Every structure is written in structure tokens, then in C-alpha cells.
Structure 1
Amino acid sequence: MNTKVWKVDNYVDNLKNNPQVVDAADFLRKNEVVALPTETVYGLGGNAESDEAVAKIYEAKGRPGDNPLIIHIADRQQLTRFVADVPHKAEQLMDAFWPGPLTIIFNKKEGVLSEKATAGLATVAVRMPDHPVALALLEVCGLPIAAPSANSSGKPSPTTAAHVLDDLNGKIAGVFDGGPTGVGVESTVVDCTEEIPVILRPGGVTLEQLAEVVGEVHVDAALTDEAARPKAPGMKYRHYAPNAPLFMVSGTTGFLQKLVTEKQQEGLKVGVLTTEENVDQYSADLVLACGRRAELETVAAALYETLRRFNQGQVDVIYSEMFTNTGVGNAIMNRLQKAAGNKLISE
């Protein structure tokens, strides 16, 4: 399969009438899958009402079938098509954070969406992306679009079209190059089917921001307890992993350097994930600064790009510094824990 590449300035006038947007939307209507930029990561989009299109998403990614997909819409009116009810707290969150990096779980109407898209669950996860190309594509095609991250399952999520092509070139119909994404980590997922909203995945909207809008918010126990059963099926899988084994390190820079030296003495090539503040503290085969610790939004934005750069450096093992579990740091640590398979070394 030849993977077509479209490219347009995100901020040109009248994107909905742009020939490339119209062409890509036509691919979606024909049940082909198209990678599209969002403000979080690139998504692999397909018609959420079509078993054929959704099957192509799973096949291209190599994604487990019990891992439901997030449905992307351009207009809140589309919810009436496939959502059974919209709770008041969900309305409040949509008012505050849509379009944006927030996914809300609703009870679904039966018989509208592909059962493959929702993995047979009675609920559906929905978001409205905050990206001009994504919104134009969604509006022009007129369909709810299922769109997980546009990468091979388990690998770091793509934040550029080049990342998408690295993983999926020849496996998908097309990719819309909208430049690098902004947030850099996926959307926050919040279950609003119960009285008190529950965070199932931390992301671009923080717990603190959600609580400001709706008051009490719970966090799925599986996010902090490995023994707990996750409410979101996909959260049980390893994600975001570079090729080399990754270890989180809790301790001083001196302790981390000691680990590096020990591995180098064994003849291994070692990588270190740090920030701009500490990049000069390490002597390793590949030391990469992932944003600034003083501004965790920059760490989130650079995380997947940094993990992919370790692949290019062909290191044998990677040690990563750790980050605070507050604010967007919660999302960063969640992704690092998944990428490391929860492997932690403490001083």
C-alpha cells in the first residue's frame, strides 16, 4: 500500500474547503484510515461506525482487540447520534475543556458505533481535539472518527508525521502532516458515567484543573496500585516503550551516574533521560535533555520524541530521572511507568 502524505498550513483561511483536507476526508468516508494531527499526538483515524475501517486501525497498529478506541468529533451535537445521555458534570467539563486534551466516557447508544471501536463495552470515550486540521477533517467528513495514537502498538506515540511514517508507512492509506504536536502526551480520560468523575488516564488536563470545575474527582486505583484491575482495558498494556529496556531511577544524579558506569563497564551502551538542568551531570553514551524540569509542560511535549531518539542512538539500556506526580507531572510519570514496565531502581 502506498501511504499518501497531505500537507497544509494549519492556519490558512477556510481549511474546510482546502483540496487536501477534502481529499483526506474523502478517504475517511471510504473507510480508509488516515493519520491526523491533534494537539496531543497524531491519531490514526477511521470511521467509528464501520467495522471495516476500525479493523484496519487495529491491523495497522497491531493493537489488542479489548482496547477500546477514543471517538473524535468536531461538534457536540454529534454526541446525540451515539451517546445515551450527557450527565451534568460532563457538560461542565465540555464547557471548560473542549476542544482540548480531555476525553470523556459516556454510556453509549447501542447499534450506532462499530462494536470493534468500543471493544464491546456499554460505554464510549469521546473527545473534541483542539487542532485546526483535525477539526476541519472531522467536520468535512461528517463522521465520528475513532483515532488511537498513530504508532505501532506499544511504541512511543507519534508527535510528528515523520514518526507516523517510521511506524506505519505502507500500512495505512495516508497521513496529514500538520507539523509537530503541542501537548505531547495523550488526553486525560475521565469516566463520567458515575456520580463522581474518575480519572482513568492522566493527560493534558490535570486533576487539579478538573476539580476546579466539578469538585470532587477520583483517580482509578489501577493508576497507583499495580495489583488493582484497571477500569480502562487498554491501561493494562505496556505502552510508549523504546527498543532498549528503560528503568526509572529514584535517587541523586550521582546514584544514577553510578548505574551508568556499572553498565558501561559491562560493555553496554547506556542512555540517560534527563532535563536541561541536569544534562551536564552525566557521562553516558547518549544523554538526552527532555525539556526543562522547571516547566514540566516542556517535558511532556518532548517525551515521546526523546524516547524515539534513544532508538536512533541504539543504546542497550536507558535510565530515566523521575518527576513530581502533581499537575502534568502525573501524566509524565504515568507514561514513563508504562514505558519502563514499572521497572524502578531506588537509591
Structure 2
Amino acid sequence: MAEDQLLNFSGDTPDDVIVLGETDPELLQLNDTLATTISTILNTTVLPTSSFEPLLPYTPNPFRIGFLAVKCLLIVLLCAISCTIRRDFLKFFAICILIPLFLEAAFDVFTEIQAGTGIFGVQKLEWAYHMVEQPVNSTISDYPKHAIDIYGAILQQYSTYQLYTGDPLFALASFIIADFVFWSLLFSTVVAFYYAHKSIVRPERIVFEPFILSFLKAQLIPVLFTAVDTLLALHQVPGWVYSGAMVVVRLGACLVAVAIATQLFASLFLFCRSVDELSVTSPYEQIRNAKMRLFLLLLFTVVVHLLSAPYIAWAGISLVRDVMWLLSFDTTSLPLRIAAEAFPLHLTLFLIRPLVFLVASLFFLNPFRRRFVRLFCPCCRRK
């Protein structure tokens, strides 16, 4: 037995050796064919890294710089005009929006300086609308989770600066300011209409109203909603927390939209209200020209809040969809496609809302309009 073990493990070459080339030539031919195929694939395949366009060196975007210059000029002009306006609720209404717009303009200037360092580079300017695909494994109610990423991509496309996606802090800061302006404009409009109606219904009390305190209180909800939007976009939270927070935010947006629509409708009846002699001869401009101011405020609201319509549409449709899904109803009849396109459009309109507000303030907010006309029209100045 020991000899058998020595023979088995002696290391000698076995007597019967099978050579594949001699016994199976078809296998060798298959091996050559496989090697040729692999070589062809490697030679014709383009690596994924070669599909990316190289970043361009920093060049100022003249359209962005011009847009920023116009915005800064209008902010300075409105601030200067507001210093000449006496105690007026429209003055405080505009100031509540001008303060965050001033911060936004200052941050845009800082961003322009940082982009000039050339760390992240720029891309080619494209005027095409930024299309956003629905996130994978998500519904239309989950768009706020990706709001900062989507807004950063939108800023990058229209500014051409890669730092909005290279450094998330830039997109985050821009989103916070723009989102606060959106919410503040919604809730401040309700307060402005309240005082505009009161100037006609109770003109004797409008002079003694604490305007600034009312508008400051109205900013508490925008601060809260902006914080909720930001936190939900930054952090992963349990599903019940996200659903509860979004129900409050979307319901608040729908309610304030209904309130503004109701005030617009009520304004039509106030135009038919007779004005007494004391109101016509009042030394206070907000009482003497109450109807004209209300009409211009109505036009201002229509122009400015057309930009808020996409978010209201998304909030309403997504809220109804969640309720129907919770009650096990069929949701295919809802315009879900419209809601899916409305939220990215809402973020895109963040870019032009400041300019629309500034221009509309000069033409439709009566105290600013009157002083702006007098500034550039010598015939309208008081002698």
C-alpha cells in the first residue's frame, strides 16, 4: 500500500495525456473566434467618460450679469422711493419683499465673484427649457425631496456656472431665499388686500392701524414653510413625518390661494360702493384714492401671482391624489402629468419672480407709481 501511495504522488507524468488541439480542433477554432469578438468589442466601444463635454474656462454670462444689474437697480430705486413715502400699508408690503430680494441680489453678486475663480468651470449656454424627469420610485408628492437638486440644475443651465452643482451650498442658499420670497408674497398679499378693503369700508380707522406689525406677523408662516421645505429636501425623514408636513404646507398654499381669489372677487363689489365726502377730501392718500389703489393692487396681484399658479396646481392635485390613494380610490382620472410638470416649472419661475415683482411694484403699487412718474416726468411734478 505504501508503494501505491509513492507511485500516485511521485510527480511522474501520466502516461495517457490528452491534447485538446489534437482531439478537438473545433474547440480551438471556437476559442479563436471568441478572442476575435472580444477584441472587436473593445476596439469599437466608447468609454462613458469620453461622452462628457469638457468644462469651459470661466467667461462671464452677459445675460445673467445684465439681469442682475437690472434687478439691483430696481431694488435700489424702490428702496429710495420708499424712503419718500409716508405711513402707507403698501410701503410696508413692498419692504417685506424687498428685504429678501436685496439679500438674494447680494448673494448673486457673491456667486458671480466665486464663479470667476474658475474652480468649477462653466458650460455652454442653453436657452431650452430645463426638462426634469420624475424621480425613480417616487410619486408627484415626492418632488419636494429633490427640490434643491432640481433648482441647482436649473440655476446651472441658465447661469452656465457649474458651482451650483459642484458646491451644493450655493443652490441651497439660493433656494431658501427664493422659496421665502414665494411664500412671503402669498401671505403678504392677503394682508395688503385686507387694508385696501378697509380703506374703503372703514376709512376712519385705517390711519391708526399698526401696518408694520401686521406684515411682520404675516412673515412667520413663510419662515415656517420655508424651513419645512428646506429640511424635507435636505434630510430623509420617516414617511409619516413627510406626509404630515406636506399636508400642512400644501393645504396652507391652497387656502391662501382661495383667500386671495375671494378677496379679488370681493373687490369687484367694493368698486360699486359709494364714497362719502369726507373720504374724497381726506388728506390721506390711501383714503382719498382708495378705489384706484385697490384696482391697481388687483392688477398687481393678477400679474405677480400668475407665477404662483404652477405650485398651487401641483399642491392641489397632489393633495387630492394622496387622499384618494389613502381611501383606495382610483387616481388615474387625475391630471397627474400636469402636476408632474408644474413643480419643476414652479422652481424655474423662481428666477424671474423678483424681476416681475419689482417691475409690477413700479407700475401697479400706487405710492411707488406716482413717485416714479414724477421722478422721470417733469410735467407731472408739483410746482
TM range (shorter): under 0.3
Higher helix residue share: 2
TM-score normalised per structure 2: 0.25
> Which protein is bigger by CA-based radius of gyration?
2
TM-score normalised per structure 1: 0.27
